[in-house]
Amino acid sequence: MSAKSEILNRLQASLADAPVAPEVPRTYRRQSAAGADEIREMLVDRLVDYRASVHSASVSELPALLDSLISGPVVLPDGLDPQWLPLAEEVADPLEAACVVTSSTVSCAETGTIILTGQPAEGRREISLIPDHHICIVPAETIVELFPEAWERVAAAGLDGPITMISGPSATSDIELERVEGVHGPRQLDVVILG
């Protein structure tokens, strides 16, 4: 008998009398009881904690705000309203862009997570990950408190492609807990809550 077979046989024998794990009922909250203003404030607090810059704008204020935030050549998804960006210097290749502007599907306030599902106003996944600066438009009516609520909206959209979840600028820490931003995606995140 080989050493590998002996080890596997011993593991199997040690697991033979293991009890079955009990069923644990899932009793977490699936519906929010908080008001829209409280939920919005919670999302803003989480995003600021994650070092994102958060702005608010009405539809009429949006073009001027975006113009002030855009930091160079910008890549845009095909479905984004062109009236929002009348002065943007648009490029097609995300590698040539300093900035990207996208919309979003839903945002979860409890976790501070913005979810992109690749819809026309959000674009392909790569455009939200390659440029160094991401400006993400979050329609106020798409903000929910709890993750089960957010996931229901994603599921209701019937999308089966990649999903991008954003909780602040891309960051990681080395072994000495030194934070480094921009390793796996944009170094700068501006969130514009619309409406």
Q: pLDDT digits over 63-110, tens only?
A: 999 999 998 899 999 999 888 887 778 898 999 999 999 999 999 999
pTM assigned to the model: 0.81
Higher confidence at residue 174 or residue 32? 32
Would you place residue 31 in the very low, low, confident or very high pLDDT band (cuts 50, 70, 90)? Answer: confident
Non-local CB neighbours of 105 within 8 Å, separated by 6+ positions? 115, 116, 117, 119, 122, 142, 153, 154, 157
- Give me the sheet containing 188-194, strands edge to edge: 53-57, 188-194, 133-139, 99-102, 74-75
Give the C-alpha separation, 117 to 121, whole Å: 10
Phi, psi of 101 (to 5 degrees): -120, 125
pLDDT of residue 74: 92
Is residue 150 over pLDDT 90? yes
CA–CA gap between residue 116 and residue 137 (Å, rounded): 11
Q: Which residues contact 32 (CB under 8 A, 6 or more apart)?
A: 39, 144, 145, 146, 149
* 62, two tokens: 């949006």
Distance CA 93, CA 177 (A): 34
Longest dimension (CA), the chain: 76
pLDDT of 182 above 70: no
Nearest to 75 by CA among 132, 117, 116: 132
DSSP-derived letter for residue 30 is -
How high does pLDDT run on average in the chain? 88
Give the residue among 154, 151, 144 at the shortest CA–CA distance from 32: 144
Q: Distance (Å, rounded) from C-alpha 84 to C-alpha 59?
A: 8
18 pLDDT exceeds 90?
Answer: no
- Asked if 135 and 69 touch (Cβ cutoff 8 Å), the reply is yes
Least confident of 1-10, 32-41, 142-151, 154-163: 154-163
Q: What pLDDT is recorded for position 140? A: 96
